[in-house]
Structure 1
Amino acid sequence: MAKAMLHFLPYALLLAAFVVACHGQERKVQIVYMGDRPQGGFSVASTHHSMLQRALGSTLSAKESLIYSYRKSFNGFAARLSDEEVAKLSEMEGVVSVIPNHKLKLHTTRSWDFMGFSKGQLGASIEGEVIIGVIDTGIWPESDSFNDKDFGPPPTKWKGVCQGPNFTCNNKLIGARFYNSEGEYDSSEFHSPRDSIGHGSHTASTAAGREVAASYFGLANGTARGGVPGARIAVYKVCWLSDCATADILAAFDDAIADGVDIISTSLGSDDPIQYLKDPIAIGSFHAMKNGILTSSSAGNSGPYPATVSNYAPWILTVAASTIDRRFTAKAVLGNGQVYSGFSINNFDLNGKSYPLIWGGDAANISKGASSEFAGDCVPNTLSSDKIEGKIVYCDSFSDGSDIRRAGGVGTIMVDFPTDVAFNYPLPSTQITIEDGQKILNYIRSTENPIATILVSDPEHDKDVMAPSIASFSSRGPNPLTPDILKPDLTAPGVDILAAWSPVAPPSETFYEDTRSVKYNIISGTSMSCPHVSGAAAYLKAAHPSWSAAAIKSALMTKRTEIN
């Protein structure tokens, strides 16, 4: 037996070496960054092709490899390259860095009024000269927030385009582009700038949406608007269900700068620190700043842990998230008369009717090998539909509710650490504290037929008198790369913000389980605080067209009263 193993060992080693060699030759999307756009009349694209031809060995391979040629606002290109080809290009003159095409993540009726930010003081003609470029998941162009009634033609400085198919711009939404370097699409996504996720429509309308009557199933009813309703919007779709590719982000910056935008808003970033010369948002925003364009970026949602802030380059305006004076809570009422309030954006009305209440641990799907411990946490695929159908399920930990809804549950009461942010769920839900959860569990165990109901959220009568305060999820400093430069720069409303939504995207996180459709949705994150600052920056740019990006950034960071 030992001799047989020794006999096959050389072949095994040869096979392993072959696998390693093939892996090294596998071509992946890489970004070759080359700094400023060179001066002179020669073709930048030809230079990129020539470099690729030298690295890959043939003109045809170079042509097939190239994905983007960044030549409008800075110099570089994206191409599919093997490790060996990356090494060759890294040694070539003019190459600053070679960056793998890693993925970044996506990080209002009352928020602007809460900030004391008045509307309409500049006038539509002045606001209409400002263009906000939104790099995100696209936009839903038919939303009332983006209608162009009474808008004149775009500013003469605008040089952008409106890409199709099945997508139309107007004099409010003046430009739209989309990018997908990896060619990865979900069946639910549009091959156009149209938003199938909702995030991009939300951020764009928060920054510059028109004044419209809006609510979320009747909750937060009022007038939704952006900070500068008269400003123009240009969208650059770089984010898909599979996240946001760095090669696409750089292509969007290259186009946005050349298109003529005045402010760039990016509600996305990396969970991990990235060196400035390998960070697409740092690189893109640097060249934007050189062209007089300020970039406003989200700080990330990894708080309250220290040194978690993203988008920390000195020239970026980095935005943390804070609360506003409106809270969304939903009360769980037990059969013994006890009432427990938790955070939830709950629009489902049970009309006061009580339903049987069960602990998830008592509904374990034993036939599938689920334990009481995991079922108690309502871990997906651990609950028995026979045991929870028609009941409200109490969970020992946070759950998105999708598994309970799928199994026929009526609602859920979840336990989590203290929080200050509410979420949407696909069924009646509330998220309570650990202490209150123990009391509910005691009730279940001490009562023969425990029952409960969950009430609809009532934000109009539940004010947060401590607002504004920094949201618990908002990423904290210090700056992980340059500790001497403080980050984030400032904060803005990022909790429970109502804004435009894509009607094909569900309002909750359960993307394939929630079949509801809404035109306006309430969500939280530094993604929501970022466009508030983008809108404020656009307002300043409209009022002071000659101000530089640095002057606008400084004014926003040092002004403590209303911006006039």
Structure 2
Amino acid sequence: MDRNIRMTVKLGNGLEFNGESLYQPERYNRTFYPLVYAGVGPKPDAIFCGNGSLDGLDVKGKIVLCDRGGDIARTDKGVTVQSVGGVSLILTNGPLDGYSTLADPHDHVLPASHIGYSDGVKIKSYISASSNPTVSFIFEGTILGTSPAPAIASFSSGGPSLASPGILKPDITGPGVRVLAAWPFDVGPSTVNSTGPTFNIISGTSMSTYSSSQWHSGGAQGRTSGFIQDIVESMFYSGL
């Protein structure tokens, strides 16, 4: 999907990296804060910012760079950062997740930007090379026409099949990242007098199921049948 809900990460050396976040305040002080990488902490699992993993690392009043993964929910990492005095979170992908970033529902307890793997590597290099690394956030709202799009998300099956390398997967794909829709109840931290329409934004293979089955596959099959009159289902899938 060529849409990005952008929260730009701006380093003290002027470099900027496009991240994502549903947290988009109307007014935000673009103050530069000290930047620290959780991986320099004394505990082996500190890079993932799990509960208690940042104990012994000075993060008070700083923005913390955490690695995605470690079987720790993305929003729980922010809870850990906040518990030790951190003011914000930058979440960076590992190599397997590449550039697939997500705009989480607004249940982060503090401002948090999700960036891709290569950008995370560059930020880590900046932290290592600087005696006083700093960072600020720029909230840019919804950006349309982003690239690469379309693209296979990191959580999707990219193929080919390990059992039969000659069969490429997926057959047909559909939009499944940052799908915005109505939701029956509030999402995120409780607020006073929270009324009115509610929504949620979700990423996953289940999000693309409807469009893949109804629009894409139906259209592809109809178009293919127009060229080949006696096509059967097995022939159709074999040709995708």
Structures share fold, TM-score greater than 0.5: yes
Q: CA deviation at 1:515?
A: 4.2
Q: CA deviation at 1:481?
A: 9.7
8 Å CA contact 1:414, 1:430 repeated in 2: yes
Q: Where does 1:321-360 land on structure 2 (aligned, <5 Å)?
A: 324-348=1-25, 350-360=28-38
Which residue identity does 1:387 align to in structure 2?
D
Q: Distance in 2 between matches of 1:560 and 1:406?
A: 56
Q: What secondary structure, in the 3-state scheme, does the structure 2 residue paired with 1:455 have? A: strand
Q: What secondary structure, in the 3-state scheme, does the structure 1 residue paired with 2:34 have? A: strand
Q: Distance in 2 between matches of 1:397 and 1:423?
A: 14
Q: CA deviation at 1:392?
A: 0.6
Q: Distance in 1 between matches of 2:213 and 2:172?
A: 12
Which residue identity does 1:358 align to in structure 2?
V
Q: Distance in 1 between matches of 2:53 and 2:127?
A: 20
8 Å CA contact 2:67, 2:91 repeated in 1: yes
Q: Which runs of 5+ in 2 are unaligned?
A: 225-240
Q: Distance in 2 between matches of 1:328 and 1:408?
A: 26
CA RMSD of aligned residues (A): 3.7
Q: Distance in 2 between matches of 1:397 and 1:557?
A: 37
Q: Distance in 2 between matches of 1:484 and 1:433?
A: 30
Q: Distance in 2 between matches of 1:329 and 1:560?
A: 37
Q: Distance in 2 between matches of 1:397 and 1:405?
A: 17
Q: Distance in 2 between matches of 1:396 and 1:344?
A: 16
Q: What secondary structure, in the 3-state scheme, does the structure 1 residue paired with 2:206 have? A: helix
Q: Name which of 28, 45, 66 aligns with 1:395.
A: 66
Aligned partner of 2:182 in structure 1 is: 500
Aligned partner of 1:472 in structure 2 is: 154
Q: Distance in 2 between matches of 1:411 and 1:392?
A: 5
Q: Name which of 113, 119, 122 aligns with 1:439.
A: 122
Query: Does 2:202 correspond to 1:523?
Result: yes
8 Å CA contact 1:497, 1:523 repeated in 2: yes
User: 1:493-552: per-residue Cα shift (whole Å, max 9, x none)?
Assistant: 11211101242443xxxxxxx446781122211211113346659xxxxxxxxxxxxxxx
Q: Name which of 40, 45, 49 aligns with 1:378.
A: 49
Aligned partner of 1:459 in structure 2 is: 142
Query: Could you say if the C-alpha distance between residues 556 and 432 of structure 1 is closer, same or farther in structure 2, counting changes exceeding 3 Å?
Result: same
Q: Distance in 1 between matches of 2:83 and 2:156?
A: 32
Q: Distance in 1 between matches of 2:163 and 2:121?
A: 43
Q: Distance in 1 between matches of 2:174 and 2:121?
A: 35
Query: Could you say if the C-alpha distance between residues 465 and 479 of structure 1 is closer, same or farther in structure 2, counting changes exceeding 3 Å?
Result: closer
Q: Where does 1:55-74 land on structure 2 (aligned, <5 Å)?
A: none
Q: Distance in 2 between matches of 1:409 and 1:465?
A: 32
Query: Does 2:113 correspond to 1:430?
Result: yes
Q: Distance in 1 between matches of 2:46 and 2:213?
A: 44
Q: CA deviation at 1:355?
A: 1.9
User: 1:448-499: per-residue Cα shift (whole Å, max 9, x none)?
Assistant: 4432112224333x52244223333222457799999987552221121110
Q: What secondary structure, in the 3-state scheme, does the structure 2 residue paired with 1:376 have? A: helix
8 Å CA contact 2:2, 2:148 repeated in 1: yes
Q: What secondary structure, in the 3-state scheme, does the structure 1 residue paired with 2:7 have? A: strand
Query: Could you say if the C-alpha distance between residues 560 and 375 of structure 1 is closer, same or farther in structure 2, counting changes exceeding 3 Å?
Result: same
8 Å CA contact 1:344, 1:457 repeated in 2: no
Q: What secondary structure, in the 3-state scheme, does the structure 1 residue paired with 2:136 have? A: strand
Q: Distance in 1 between matches of 2:185 and 2:132?
A: 41
Instruction: Tell me the percent identity.
Output: 36
Query: Could you say if the C-alpha distance between residues 484 and 410 of structure 1 is closer, same or farther in structure 2, counting changes exceeding 3 Å?
Result: same
Q: Distance in 1 between matches of 2:129 and 2:163?
A: 55
Q: Distance in 1 between matches of 2:65 and 2:161?
A: 40
User: 1:302-357: per-residue Cα shift (whole Å, max 9, x none)?
Assistant: xxxxxxxxxxxxxxxxxxxxxx2212332111222222223444425633122222
Query: Does 2:101 correspond to 1:421?
Result: yes
Q: Distance in 1 between matches of 2:101 and 2:48?
A: 20
Q: CA deviation at 1:382?
A: 0.8
Q: Distance in 2 between matches of 1:482 and 1:421?
A: 30
Q: Distance in 1 between matches of 2:145 and 2:86?
A: 31
TM-score (norm 1): 0.32
Q: Distance in 2 between matches of 1:345 and 1:409?
A: 19
Q: Distance in 2 between matches of 1:448 and 1:476?
A: 41
8 Å CA contact 1:346, 1:457 repeated in 2: no
Tell which structure's C-alpha radius of gyration is larger: 1
8 Å CA contact 1:421, 1:496 repeated in 2: no
More relative contact order, 1 or 2 (CA 8 Å, 6+ apart): 2
Query: Could you say if the C-alpha distance between residues 466 and 440 of structure 1 is closer, same or farther in structure 2, counting changes exceeding 3 Å?
Result: closer
Which residue identity does 1:559 align to in structure 2?
G
Q: CA deviation at 1:435?
A: 4.1
Q: How many aligned residue pairs are there?
A: 207
Query: Could you say if the C-alpha distance between residues 350 and 410 of structure 1 is closer, same or farther in structure 2, counting changes exceeding 3 Å?
Result: farther
Which residue identity does 2:153 align to in structure 1?
A
Q: What secondary structure, in the 3-state scheme, does the structure 2 residue paired with 1:388 have? A: coil
Q: Distance in 1 between matches of 2:118 and 2:171?
A: 36
Query: Could you say if the C-alpha distance between residues 476 and 332 of structure 1 is closer, same or farther in structure 2, counting changes exceeding 3 Å?
Result: closer
